Amino acid sequence: MGRAILLENIDIPGIRGFGAYRAHGGYQAVTRALREMTPAEVGQEVTRSGLRGRGGAGFPTGLKWSFLDRKSDKPRYLVCNADESEPGTFKDRYLMHHLPHRLIEGLIISSYALGASTCFIYIRGEFKYLVGVLETAIREARQNGFLGDNILGSGFSLDIWVHPGAGAYICGEETALLESLEGKRGNPRIKPPFPAFKGLYGCPTVVNNVETLAAVGPIVLMGGEAYAKIGRGKSTGTKLMSACGNIKRPGVYEIELGLPVEEFLFSPEYCGGMSGDRYLKALIPGGSSVPILPADLALNTARGDQRLLTYESMAEGEFESGSMLGSGGFIVLDEYACIVRNTWNLTRFYRHESCGQCSPCREGTGWMEKILHRLEHGEGRMKDIDLLVRIAGNIEGKTICPLGDAAAWPVASAIRHFRSEFGYHAEHPDQVKNIDHGPLPLPETSAGPVAANGIKYW
């Protein structure tokens, strides 16, 4: 049975509202933190918990907080990154949709720990309806004395504002997000200076993902050490996985880190196996930006160990035979999926989302898309394959922000593991043209995907 920490209580009716959330232990963590702990103690618990950034990078949260410039006399800001746009990732949307107060609670405690009196939630504009959901939750928290001036008599004051983006994947990168929040184009900044010193409006700022911040409440309640005992090794705690693609039960699942990929994929508790019981062909385990893995390397590492859902195990073998846990966007491809088409599709995404600041990314993503388009449409050449590898290599690590890497890895890894399929496309143009890539038909009255705890997803 999966361990529910973030999604605990999700199936209680009305848990989205303050009343039900509070009645089931909600805001106890805020009370504990503000009444019984100093800000530094909260930070220590987070460090002890081993919590790592859930947005994709997996950087230790306590360490990130420790970088904050506490000597500056400027105001400090906490910014919640809710710009969830990584293809395959929909966990933050799910969390905010069902448990908005879980996030608000985490924001209050984290702001207290960081000494921030203003917090912004930067949410992607396409989630317009969630702006209203969060604003309602904030209003409820304020009405009940958990936001505003002198919260619970602690002397700590906090305002939280929801700020919608307007359709730009790049704004999930923390410095682009800050630019966007300042009302500018989402062009990432050169680091250093890091946001911890010069962030929003040039002030010390911490930017954390929704899921990361939502975990802070439970950590305060159970204690950092207890949280660190959950999970495996340096991958502590639980993680929300958003599973999609050719599986029986797409949805959001909370797992204890360390769960084997095989179990997650085939257990009826989670993905429920491949749809139509077809064969697993490939897996993109952490959102579209991470390297794709063929079936054998998805389930087992190159050394023959079972592949586990931890930051370390997913990365084992590095780029030769490994991938990354990333954001937990678990995209499953079955035997009917065309790797070339999928790679072209994702490259088109990065071409569209490149901010255009750095030449390798701006030009490289467009060039790769053009080549992949012609391979997929029966107009490619054998030498295109090595050309793609070369272009990907010339983008990787040569840009201001990681979007360049994110665009290069899917291409490089797809060719590494499925080179023959690219070759087939180049050698058999007539056979790859005009293929109907629609899915195998499903009944019109499909019951629909279900999420963790048996709740219908949407």
Partner 1 sequence: MNHYPIINHPYHEASGGGVAFTGATLEKVRAIMARYPEGQQKSALLPVLHIAQEELGGYLSVDVMNYVASLLGIQPIEVYEVATFYSMFRLEPAGKYVIEVCRTGPCTLAGGERILGHLCETLAIGVGETTPDGLFTLKETECLGSCGTGPTMQVNTEFYEQLTPGKIDRILEDLREQALQTNSGESSWAGQFS
Residue numbers 8-47 binding partner 1 by CB under 8 A? none
23 Cβ contact list (under 8 Å, min separation 6):
none
CB atoms within 10 A of CB 406: 27
Q: Nearest to residue 120, comparing CAs of 105, 139, 107?
A: 107
Residue 414 near residue 392, CB atoms below 8 Å:
no
- Tell me how many residues contact partner 1 (CB under 8 A): 75
**Options 245, 285, 328, 360; binder of partner 1; rule CB under 8 A:** 245
Q: How far is CA 313 from the centre of its chain?
A: 18
State the Cα–Cα distance between residues 33 and 110, nearest whole angstrom.
Answer: 10
CB of 28 to partner 1, least distance (A): 25
Q: How far is the CB of 37 from partner 1 (least distance, A)?
A: 28
Site string (168-207) toward partner 1, x via CB under 8 A: xx----------xxxxxxx--------------x------
Q: Cα separation of 181 and 324, whole Å?
A: 29
CB 309 within 8 A of CB 241: yes
For the CB of residue 88, give the shortest distance to partner 1 in the complex, in Å: 5
Q: Which is nearer to partner 1, 58 or 250 (CB)?
A: 250
Smallest separation (angstroms) from partner 1 to the CB of 44: 30
Residue that is written with structure tokens 């569209």 in the block: 352
Query: Quick one: DSSP state of residue 306?
Result: B
Residues numbered 396 to 435 that lie near partner 1 (CB under 8 A) are: none
Binders of partner 1 in range 304-363 (CB under 8 A): 329, 331, 333, 337, 341-342, 345-346, 348-349, 352-356
Which residue of 62, 100, 165, 285 would you call a contact of partner 1, by CB under 8 A? 165
Task: Please identify which residue in 59, 67, 161, 279 interacts with partner 1, judged by CB under 8 A.
Answer: 161
In the complex, minimum distance from the CB of residue 303 to partner 1, in angstroms, rounded to a whole number: 29
Long-range contacts of 176-179 (CB under 8 A, 24+ apart): 176/355, 176/401, 177/79, 177/81, 177/83, 177/122, 177/207, 178/79, 178/205, 178/207
Residue 132 interacts with partner 1 (CB under 8 A)? yes
Q: Which of 86, 174, 384, 421 binds partner 1 (CB under 8 A)?
A: 86
- Is residue 234 a contact partner of residue 311, using CB atoms and an 8 Å limit? yes
Q: Which is nearer to partner 1, 202 or 233 (CB)?
A: 202
Cβ atoms within 10 Å, residue 19: 12
Q: For the CB of residue 272, give the shortest distance to partner 1 in the complex, in Å.
A: 12
When the beta carbons of 193 and 356 are compared against partner 1, the nearer one is: 356
Quick one: 141 or 196, whose CB is closer to partner 1? Answer: 141
Task: Give the interface segment with partner 1, choosing from 225-233, 257-265, 415-423, 441-449 (CB under 8 A).
Answer: 441-449
Q: Please, which residue, 43 or 100, has the CB nearer to partner 1?
A: 100
Question: What gap in Å lies between CA 30 and CA 113, rounded to an integer?
Answer: 11
Min CB(69)–partner 1 separation in Å: 18
Q: ∠ CA 69-154-77 to the nearest 5 degrees?
A: 30
19 or 132, CB closer to partner 1?
132
* Rounded-to-integer distance, Cα 196 and Cα 174, Å: 11
User: Which of 5, 64, 79, 84 forms a contact with partner 1 (CB under 8 A)?
Assistant: 84
HEC assignment per residue over 330-361: EEEEECCCCHHHHHHHHHHHHHHHCCCCCHHH
CB of 156 to partner 1, least distance (A): 19
| Candidate segments 36-44, 118-126, 228-236, 414-422, binder of partner 1 by CB under 8 A | 118-126
